Structure 1
Amino acid sequence: MKHLVAIFFLLATTLSATAQQTQKPVLHGKNWMAITGKPLAATAGAMTFQKGGNAVDAACAMLAATCTMWDVLSWGGETQALIYNPKTKKVIAINAMGVAPTGATPEFFKGKGYNFPPEYGPLAATTPGTPGGLLYMLANYGTLSLEQVLAPAIEMAAGYPMEAQTANSIEKNKEHIKQWPYSRKVFLTHPGEDREAPEPGEIFVQKDLLQTLTKMVEAEREALKKGKNRKDAIMAAYDRFYKGDIAEEFVRGSKEQGGLITMQDLAKWKPIEEEPLMVNYKGVDVYKMQQWTQGPVMLQALNVLENFDLKGIGYNSTKYIHTLYQAMNLSFADRDFYYGDPYFAPQEPMKGLLSKAYAKERAKLIQYDKNNPSIGPGDPYPFEGRKNPYLKLLKERGYEMDTSKRNFAPSHDIRNGSSMNEYQERLWLGTTTVEAADKEGWVVSITPSGGWVPACIAGNTGIGMSQRMQSFVLDAKLNPFNVVAPGKRPRVTLTPSMALKDGKPFLSFAVQGGDTQDQNLLQFFLNVVEFGMNVQQAAEAANINTNQLWLSLGGMKTDDRKPKPGHILLNSSTPDSVRNELKKMGYTLSFGDRTSGPINAIFFDWKHGSFWGGSSNHGEDYGIAW
């Protein structure tokens, strides 16, 4: 009888997972698809497609629009993108992460009493990456001019109706904003009044940003007049931003407020086109950015989970939740110690970390009757024929786990004075994502970020500086690959995703939300591949999150970042039977009404020659297709 009940439960959970009614409809299109974090920004993508642009043009237009709208990012932030090129039939990666500026050393920050670089202000800033990434993508893979692609963003900078989400975030953070004169000038449109931030629906004008974007377009126009080709004209705008008068004002404004960025830092920085990392999961090739992001953590988790019959275990059954949690803990423990900038020594052991044999050994560590609070980094070096030089360091570090209160939310996503559940607010106030595809075969997935409210604006540029320096460590015991150094990229949480099947695009997907990004993307992918959900169902389905990892964002003290073992976020719909079983296994439970994360995704329906779009039911993520 018990066996019959178990079979019925597995059938019921599988059926409910694949037949669920979604809160938002699937998006369909056959010519193009544009999805991002704001309706107006999705419209910018649609406008660009209607001008005859391809998916890269549209993605760049949406990126520019979201930055201009402060969709929890700004023009001074960072961009990481995966692009499928239908001409070469390959996935490429665009690394447009800024770097630590001159003078950014462990000694500098420790001298100020910090255990990590600060969360806010000019000392949190890496060099801007988003403008360079956008211009590089557009010049090399787009078809339109910069003037055409920036047209919606320029119109927005001249004045657009601000939505309540951003307007209220500014008001909540106005005491931070008042520290920085240029931020105060831009954001606090009603100084001295009870509400100093813009009101929802108010036309928000950014004169300085408008001037900056106009200067970039002027540089392109001047280059074209001189006979330069399209690509060189776009790169003339690049030079004006990173080497010309825009750069001069950016540096001046940063230094005035205590920042470290120099003209040489800007001039030396360049976006990099890279080979993405990839693993095959049951016939599907899954692509991620390199190890300067957390992206490979999802690939490691997939390798571990390939050793289990997930479909047979049953969607969101106790055993499924436990297996996912343990696989993610194993992978994040490696992320926390081994990931860093591949352009700096030492060399990360990625071959070993992504090997199937290593994953099989790691999978053996999963205890089936309880959570393991002592999971630490493994030793991937033997799986690539090397000896681990950090065994002594790992022993010195130990696996101490903090038991004090800590949130799932990156602290930049938590707003003081809110009555809203902090985790729920994180889902709404993460960064943003950009997804685009066209009938010619171009596919783009971007997770841009940085320069979120409260941003320190650099002089009269209108550009908010990044806060990504906080993702560095100052102590090699935490991660010898991610110690801050001038010219180095921090290991970031930002992680666009793409999957190919039979050599053709299968899924393009991304999500916001700090350390939860690859947790939610992993489950989204499994929802589609293992449980047959469509992209909208998978984007809304109940996920879990682990807090048994080192936080990448928030807090300048070590205790602010330490793992919280056994703490798990579950969906409020989780049955009492599953809750009770998880408690017996040593888990501490938290709940949320929507736990899938704000995922945006495109599925490629080769049978019918169409696109299926999924845009989460969180916040204002929105898609348009034709």
Structure 2
Amino acid sequence: MRKFFAPLLFAVTIQAGLAQQTQKPVLHGKNWMAITGKPLAATAGAMIFQKGGNAVDASCAMLAATCTMWDVLSWGGETQALIYNPKTRKVIGINALGVAPTGATAEFFKSKGMNYPPEYGPLAAVTPGTPGGLCLMLAEYGTMSLKEVLAPAMQLAEGYPIETQTANSIERTKERIKEWPYSKTVFLPHLGEPREAPEAGEIFKQPDLLQTLRKMIEAEQQALKKGKSRKEAIYAAQDRFYKGDIAQEFVRGCKEQGGLITLEDLARWKPVQEEPLKVNYKGIEVYKLSQWTQGPMMLQALNILENVDLKSMGFNSAKYMHTLYQVMNMTFADRDFYYGDPYLAPEEPIKGLLSKEYAKERLKSLNWEKNDAKVTPGDPYPFEGKTNPYQDYLRQWSHASLDKPSTGLTQEYLDQVWLGTTSVEAADKDGWVVSIVPSGGWIPSCIAGRTGIGMSQRMQSFVTDPKLNPFNVVEPGKRPRVTLTPTMALKDGKPYLSFGVQGGDTQDQNLLQFFLNVVEFGMNVQEATEAFNINTYQFYLSLGGEDRKPKPGNILLHESTPPYVRKELVQMGYKLSFDDRTSGPINAIYFDWKHGSFWGGSSNHGEDYGIGW
């Protein structure tokens, strides 16, 4: 999990129209912008830009670098992306989420005494998505070869000085890592010593991963020698991963350790290009991936909040926090019950969920005086002209989740709420814009054989009980509903904002507030990334163990919250907790069309870093 450790240098009061001093400067660029979770990975993007690549080429290089650096993800995870194509002036969605393998049924996991698939190990793995997603983006929208784009990652795999955060994460989780022989070999070079993980600054080498990447490049180069096009050659590399000798070793290593993924599962899987969802908020078009992510909940929240005068409430006043908290709880409840894989039945009522009329109906139920501990999913079906087929489940959902809510914010629980990933933001002078929130295969990861590839843990986001969510019950070939949620906004038909964040169930909470900081309170992009957020825990955890029930009324505030605001919130029924960091690291790009430049923001909450030119 990402730890936020930057010192709090000063406290600030944010008012509409007033600039605040920030801990990190705004990034400015005229030609390109590259922002991601690690300085070395941002440098990889800069290297590609300097060689003439576009934003898609650079974002693929950053994605490859973050995977290689185990920036709370690995190559066996999943990639979720939005791309703005300046030639068509359209936003494209990239769905590179793996699917549940053969044998992964609700009955299988229940037979093992599990209400959810496990958090870690081979049985937590969906099929790898990131290699295919990277190849798709590069082939269709990039300009460079896979060999060129993977060059920085391959240099990292040869050996790079590992940073403190990742090295310490390995050391903290080494007992679990020792359960898997291939992971132990990669992560623990000092077995038997007091510290078995690498030390900060030690050259961390991954020869198996390097060999896997070389095999993909070999496939590409051989295809080019046979006269294949750049695009065809990149897909040849993808095929070697999913259908060739890489796939064979991946499956062998997975099955040896008790996993379910088969060669047929890998061969059948394909990344998907799709049309994203969008809503219009006060003239700004906001884009999210569809209901296989939690992204539409931010769109639902914006639909509700556009009917409220947020600015007059004042930034982070008790009334403002209360309003956000209640609206987010409503959209979380809808997420928890209605979101799932749109490519498999049953069909989610997404049209109703995103209708403006449904939003107004939800707003009517908002309690303006007290926290509503019994917020439940709404009924969007009438707003599609249909009858809800799951009324009985809805009634049982309410009883199961709210009559005996989970209590207490343990550290284990908070770790699951904030469980990290990374984000990648890139833009160039020709108009290409990319927002990626990849994840999966984070440390402690089970590595599949001699591939060097850490397997995903995303299967844990399924449910086995349809009463909790009839759209997200685990079955072979199905995608779990993920928390990962890149975002893009257009204004007057042109890119306005591109942004993403890490942090599990907190992601769309943080991104909603970031967006409102810019649009409603006039903050610049860096101010908005650093501004204090609130967080609700009144939802079902997407990641974790068996206890995932909502924690009604629990709210995270920044430690500088004034006493009078704290008092008002307590009177409204809230249970307060505090921290000096109240969001994951937010990365963002603002498009300054007046001056023809980019403004980059990379929050002060972690190791995220940006470079512009």
Normalising by structure 2, report the TM-score. Answer: 0.96
Aligned mates of 1:270, 1:407 — CA distance in 2? 39
* CA–CA distance in structure 1, aligned partners of residues 430 and 411 of structure 2: 39
The 1-side partners of 2:318 and 2:205 are apart by 51
Task: Provide the residue aligned with 1:255 in structure 2.
Answer: 255
Mapping for residues 237-252 of structure 1, pairs under 5 Å? 237-252=237-252
275-284 or 391-400: which moved more? 391-400
Partner AA of 2:556 in structure 1: L
Alignment of 1:261-280 (within 5 A): 261-280=261-280
Give runs of aligned pairs for residues 490-509 of structure 1, distance below 5 A: 490-509=480-499
Give 2:467's match in structure 1, choosing from 477, 500, 519. Answer: 477
Residue 457 of structure 1: aligned partner = 447
1:141 — aligned with what?
Answer: 141
Q: Give the equivalent residue in structure 1 for 2:427.
A: 437
Offset of 1:404 from its aligned partner?
Answer: 3.7
Work out the CA distance in 2 between the residues paired with 1:244 and 1:506.
42
Distance 1:306 1:488 in 2: 34
Identity rate, percent: 76
- Partner Cα distance (1:330, 1:170) in 2: 37
Q: Distance in 1 between matches of 2:234 and 2:377?
A: 44
How far does residue 16 in structure 1 lie from its aligned partner after superposition?
A: 7.0
Distance in 1, Cα, partners of 2:134 & 2:191: 34
In the alignment, is the contact (CA less than 8 A) between 1:349 and 1:381 conserved in 2?
yes
In structure 2, distance between residues paired with 1:357 and 1:410: 39
Task: Map 1:28-47 to 2 at 5 A.
Answer: 28-47=28-47
* Superposition RMSD in Å: 1.3
Q: Distance in 1 between matches of 2:196 and 2:113?
A: 33
Instruction: Quote the residue 2:3 is aligned against.
Output: none
Q: In the alignment, what sits opposite 1:94?
A: 94
Aligned residue among 569, 587, 595 for 1:582: 569
Q: What's 1:183 paired with? A: 183
Decide whether aligned partners of structure 1 residues 141 and 324 sit closer, same or farther in structure 2, where only a CA change above 3 A counts: same
**Corresponding residue number in structure 2 for 1:625:** 612
- Measure, in 2, the Cα distance between the counterparts of 1:342 and 1:16: 40
- Give deviations 1:153-211, integer Å, cap 9, x for gaps: 00000000000000000000000000000000000010110000000000000000000
Judge conservation of contact 1:17–1:541 (CA < 8 Å) in 2: no
The residue type paired with residue 181 of structure 1 is P
The one-letter amino acid of 2:60's match is C
Distance 1:408 1:95 in 2: 34
Q: CA deviation at 1:17?
A: 7.5
1:528 paired residue number: 518
Residue 19 (structure 1) shift: 2.0
In the alignment, which residue of structure 2 is the partner of 1:218? 218
Q: Please tell me the residue identity of whatever aligns with 1:597.
A: G
Instruction: Using the TM superposition, give the Cα deviation of residue 596 of structure 1 relative to its aligned residue in structure 2, in angstroms.
Output: 3.4
In structure 2, what is the equivalent of residue 538 of structure 1? 528
1:396 corresponds in structure 2 to 396
4+ residue segments displaced more than 3 Å:
402-414
1:301 aligned partner: 301
Pairing 1:192-203 to 2, within 5 Å after superposition: 192-203=192-203
* Alpha-carbon offset, residue 584 of structure 1: 0.6
**Structure 1 residues 184 and 13: CA distance shift in structure 2, 3 A:** closer
CA contact (8 A) 1:412 1:553 kept: no
Counterpart check, 1:613 vs 2:597:
no
| Cα contact 1:539–1:597 (8 A) shared by 2 | no
Aligned to 1:604: 591
Partners of 2:223 and 2:232 within 8 A in 1: yes
User: What amino acid is the match of 1:276?
Assistant: P
Q: Which secondary structure does the structure 2 equivalent of 1:70 belong to? A: coil
Change (3 A) 1:186 1:78: same
Distance 2:24 2:559 in 1: 19
Report the alpha carbon displacement of residue 512 of structure 1 after superposing the two structures with TM: 0.3
Q: Secondary structure, in 3 states, of the residue corresponding to 1:15? A: coil
Query: Relative to 1, partners in 2 of residues 1:410 and 1:112: Cα closer, same or farther, differing over 3 Å?
Result: same
Cα separation, partners in 2 of 1:41 and 1:58, compared to 1, 3 Å: same
Equivalent residue of 1:398, what SS? helix
**Letter in structure 1 aligned against 2:230:** R
Q: For the structure 1 residues 406 and 225, does the alpha-carbon distance in structure 2 shift closer, same or farther, using more than 3 Å as the test?
A: farther
1:568 aligns with 2:555: yes
Secondary structure of the structure 1 residue equivalent to 2:324: helix
The DSSP-based 3-state class of the residue aligned with 2:499 is strand
Q: Are the equivalent residues in 2 in contact too, given 1:330–1:377 (CA < 8 A)?
A: yes
Residue 306 of structure 1 and its aligned partner are, at CA, apart by: 0.8
Q: Distance in 1 between matches of 2:396 and 2:540?
A: 17
**Structure 2 residue aligned with 1:363:** 363
SS at match of 2:15: helix
Alignment of structure 1 residues 111-150 onto 2, 5 Å: 111-150=111-150
- The one-letter amino acid paired with 2:548 is R
What secondary structure is seen at the aligned counterpart in 1 of 2:587? strand
- Code of the residue aligned with 1:219 in structure 2: it is A
Q: How many pairs are equivalent? A: 600
Q: What is the letter of the counterpart of residue 519 of structure 2?
A: V
SS in 2 for 1:561: coil
For residues 353 and 347 of structure 1, the distance between their equivalents in structure 2, rounded to whole angstroms, comes to: 12
Deviation of 1:409 after TM superposition, in Å, equals 7.3
Asked if 1:50 corresponds to 2:40, the answer is no
Q: 1:16 to 1:396 in 2, by over 3 A?
A: closer
Q: Deviations over 1:317-367 (max 9, x none)?
A: 010000000000010000000000000101000010000100001001111
Other-structure match for 1:339: 339
- Cα deviation digits, residues 552-598 of structure 1 (max 9, x gap): 0000x2xx100000000001111000000100110000101021321
Alpha-carbon distance in structure 2 between the residues aligned to 1:327 and 1:398: 18
Counterparts of 2:398 and 2:587, CA distance in 1: 38
1:604, 1:228 → 2: CA distance? Answer: 37
Contact (CA 8 Å) 1:13, 1:315: kept in 2 or not?
Answer: no
Q: Residues 409 and 71 (structure 1 numbering): CA distance in 2 closer, same or farther, change over 3 Å? A: farther
Partner letter of residue 115 of structure 2?
Answer: N
Equivalent residue for 1:324? 324
Distance 1:407 1:263, change over 3 A: farther
Distance 1:281 1:140 in 2: 30
| Contact 1:157/1:206 (<8 A) preserved | yes
2:539 corresponds to: 549
> What is the SS of the residue equivalent to 1:464?
coil
The Cα shift of 1:413 comes to 4.1
Residue 213 of structure 1 deviates from its aligned partner by 0.3
In the TM superposition, residue 103 of structure 1 has moved relative to its aligned partner by 0.1
The answer on whether the counterparts of 1:605 and 1:611 sit within 8 Å (CA) in structure 2 is yes
The CA distance in 2 between the partners of 1:458 and 1:102, in whole Å, is 17
1:2-42 deviation line (CA, Å, top 9, x unaligned): xxxxxxxxxx9653784221100000000000000000000
Q: 1:561 to 1:491 in 2, by over 3 A?
A: same
Deviations 1:225-247, CA, capped at 9 Å, x for gaps: 11101000000000000000000
The CA distance in 1 between the partners of 2:606 and 2:594, in whole Å, is 32
Structure-1 separation of matches of 2:24 and 2:562:
24
| Structure 1 gap ranges (5+) | 1-11, 415-422
Following TM superposition, by how much is the alpha carbon of 1:82 offset from its aligned partner in structure 2, in angstroms? 0.2
Please give the alpha-carbon distance, in whole angstroms, between the structure 2 residues aligned to 1:538 and 1:215.
43
- Cα deviations by residue, 1:451-499 (Å, 9 ceiling, x for unpaired): 0000000000000000000000000000000000000000000000000
1:87 and 1:615 map into 2 onto residues whose CA distance is 28
1:518 to 508, 531, 543: 508
CA contact (8 A) 2:16 2:521 kept: no
Judging changes above 3 Å, is the alpha-carbon distance between structure 1 residues 259 and 43 closer, same or farther for their aligned structure 2 residues?
Answer: same
Q: Distance in 1 between matches of 2:522 and 2:548?
A: 36
